[in-house]
């Protein structure tokens, strides 16, 4: 026999979620050519800027050399046009050449400058193509396998560029889950009553239990609620962000997500072993003042640190049979003995 435990608890709502990467990138070739080397190990962690592939740069280096020559020629022509304009301006002051000649020389200089700018752009584009032959990791994360091996020809056209590999970020990681409409309405009501902050404005805490685990192993915070409920499922797409420093969680994994579902409140708790089932209702056996047994219907709440929250049906001063329920008979007189105090730490916190 024992009295209910009284303490402050918080309810949690539980959902099934799936992990997804915060960032996911398809690494594609930006220039065409033959792959000369693969610089990463399949499945390894890479950092932003790490070299992944090398595409043969020699054709692009040749184009860059050609562009350098064209730029030098354009600069020389621009310099010649400038000198001819200066001479014509000097001669025009003594009326040795007409204004029309000066205008022609000025237009020739402008055309030479335009050609120089065009040549500079062509050289910059050629140099960019040389840079693009060294394919680098755009984000930090775990790289997939190489999809193109050395010696293969890749395409760099924007519409048909060759996929080389993919990278997903690992830390932190998102977990997406669908909140049912009833839970959303309950949380919304608590928000307007000032009893629970909204996850839209506040990073409410979440706890994550991975497959095969008995209790939560990762903590996180709410990060996103969608702007509408899915009409076909009646659920609200939700997201939390979870630290993944040890990189143990992979995108695509399933997990159980627990989101804070109430303000802290005082509750009465009992061991789950003290609760019996009578057809469709839950009951506990209470020892009355005359030491006779009474079956008391109760409304159960969630488990909290191994003890079951009793929402209705009990008082703090009640004496509850927690052991030997199979011998308890309603109306029978018993000789109650205090039970050993349960630590309440063995069960899952749900």
- Report the interhelical angle of 58-93 vs 99-132 (nearest 10°): 160
Residue 84 lies in a domain: yes
Residue 334 lies in a domain: no
Q: What pLDDT score was predicted for residue 261?
A: 84
Shared domain for 91 and 113, answered yes or no, is yes
CA distance 128 to 133: 9
Residue 175 lies in a domain: yes
CB atoms within 10 A of CB 173: 24
Shared domain for 252 and 319, answered yes or no, is no
Q: What confidence tens digit (pLDDT) does each residue in 16-43 have?
A: 999 999 999 999 999 999 999 999 999 9
pLDDT tier, 348 (very low <50, low <70, confident <90, very high otherwise)? very low
CA distance 198 to 100: 76
Q: What pLDDT score was predicted for residue 5?
A: 85
Share of the chain above pLDDT 70, in %: 96
Q: What average pLDDT score do residues 322-333 get?
A: 75
**Element (DSSP H or E) covering residue 89:** helix 58-93
Closest among 55, 63, 54, 62 to 125, alpha carbons compared = 63
Flag whether pLDDT at 55 surpasses 60. yes
Residue 215 lies in a domain: yes
Q: What confidence tens digit (pLDDT) does each residue in 229-284 have?
A: 999 999 999 999 999 999 999 999 999 999 988 878 888 888 888 888 888 888 88
Shared domain for 121 and 232, answered yes or no, is no
What CATH number does the domain containing 316 carry?
Answer: 2.40.420.20
Least confident range of 4-8, 138-142, 148-152, 250-254 = 4-8
What CATH number does the domain containing 243 carry?
Answer: 2.40.30.170
Least confident range of 135-144, 209-218, 238-247 = 209-218
Shared domain for 46 and 163, answered yes or no, is yes
Shared domain for 42 and 159, answered yes or no, is yes
CA distance 259 to 193: 18
Residue 144 lies in a domain: yes
Tally of domains in the chain = 4
Q: What pLDDT score was predicted for residue 335?
A: 73
Q: Are 136 and 53 in contact (CB under 8 A)?
A: no
Give the structural domain span for 152: 24-56+134-168
Q: What confidence tens digit (pLDDT) does each residue in 190-206 have?
A: 899 888 889 999 999 99
Q: What pLDDT score was predicted for residue 97?
A: 72
- More confident of the two residues 238 and 1: 238
Q: What pLDDT score was predicted for residue 350?
A: 27
- More confident of the two residues 115 and 304: 115
Q: Is the pTM of this model over 0.85?
A: no
- More confident of the two residues 204 and 92: 204
Q: What pLDDT score was predicted for residue 290?
A: 84
Give the CA dihedral 38, 43, 48, 49, nearest 10 degrees: -10
Does a cis peptide bond (omega within 30 degrees of 0) precede residue 59?
no
User: Which of 260, 290, 319 finishes a domain?
Assistant: 260
What CATH number does the domain containing 114 carry?
Answer: 1.10.287
Residue 340 lies in a domain: no
pLDDT tier, 347 (very low <50, low <70, confident <90, very high otherwise)? very low
Name every residue whose Cβ is closer than 8 Å to that of residue 56 and which is 6 or more positions away in sequence. 33, 34, 35, 36, 133
User: Which of 151, 168, 185 finishes a domain?
Assistant: 168
Beta partners for residue 18, in sequence order:
176, 254
Token pair 């079956």 is at which residue? 295
CA distances from 115 to 51, 77, 111, 276 (A): 36, 9, 6, 91
Shared domain for 145 and 101, answered yes or no, is no
CA distance 237 to 256: 15
Shared domain for 36 and 147, answered yes or no, is yes
* Residue 106 CB-density burial (10 A; 0-12 exposed, 13-18 middle, 19+ buried): middle
Shared domain for 103 and 50, answered yes or no, is no
Residue 342 lies in a domain: no
* Distance from chain centroid for Cα 323: 47
Shared domain for 189 and 305, answered yes or no, is no
User: Which of 115, 132, 149 finishes a domain?
Assistant: 132
Shared domain for 140 and 48, answered yes or no, is yes
- Supply φ then ψ for residue 112, to 5 degrees: -65, -40
Shared domain for 184 and 253, answered yes or no, is yes
Residue 348 lies in a domain: no
Residue environment code for 213-246, b if the CB has 16+ CB neighbours within 10 A, otherwise e: eeebebebebbebeeebeeeeebbbbbbbbebee
Q: What pLDDT score was predicted for residue 340?
A: 61
Shared domain for 41 and 102, answered yes or no, is no
Q: Are 345 and 306 in contact (CB under 8 A)?
A: yes
pLDDT tier, 92 (very low <50, low <70, confident <90, very high otherwise)? confident
């Amino acid at each position: 026999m024992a009295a209910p435990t009284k303490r402050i608890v918080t309810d949690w709502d539980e959902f099934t979620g799936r992990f997804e990467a915060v960032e996911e990138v398809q690494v594609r070739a930006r220039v065409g050519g033959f792959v000369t080397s693969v610089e990463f190990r399949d499945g390894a962690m890479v950092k932003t800027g790490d070299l992944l592939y090398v595409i043969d740069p020699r054709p692009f280096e040749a184009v860059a050399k050609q562009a350098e020559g064209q730029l030098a020629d354009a600069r020389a022509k621009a310099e010649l046009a400038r000198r001819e304009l200066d001479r014509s301006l000097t001669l025009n002051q003594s009326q040795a050449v007409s204004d029309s000649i000066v205008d022609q020389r000025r237009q020739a200089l402008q055309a030479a400058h335009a050609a120089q700018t065009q040549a500079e752009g062509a050289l910059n584009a050629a140099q960019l193509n040389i840079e693009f032959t060294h394919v680098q990791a755009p984000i930090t994360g775990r790289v997939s396998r190489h999809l193109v091996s050395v010696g293969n020809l890749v395409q760099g056209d924007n519409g048909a560029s060759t996929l080389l590999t993919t990278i997903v970020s690992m830390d932190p990681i998102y977990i997406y889950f669908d909140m049912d409409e009833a839970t959303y309405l309950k949380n919304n009501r608590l928000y307007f009553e000032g009893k629970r902050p909204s996850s839209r404005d506040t990073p409410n805490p979440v706890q994550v239990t991975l497959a095969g685990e008995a209790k939560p192993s990762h903590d996180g915070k709410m990060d996103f609620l969608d702007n509408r409920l899915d009409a076909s499922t009646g659920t609200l797409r939700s997201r939390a962000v979870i630290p993944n420093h040890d990189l143990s969680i992979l995108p695509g994994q399933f997990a159980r997500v627990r989101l804070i579902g109430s303000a802290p409140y005082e509750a009465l708790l009992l061991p789950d072993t003290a609760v019996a089932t009578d057809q469709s209702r839950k009951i506990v056996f209470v020892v009355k003042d005359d030491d006779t047994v009474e079956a008391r219907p109760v409304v159960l709440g969630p488990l909290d640190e191994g003890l079951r929250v009793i929402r209705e049906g009990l008082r703090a001063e009640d004496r509850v049979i927690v052991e030997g329920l199979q011998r308890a008979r309603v109306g029978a007189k018993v000789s109650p003995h205090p039970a050993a105090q349960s630590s309440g730490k063995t069960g899952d916190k749900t």
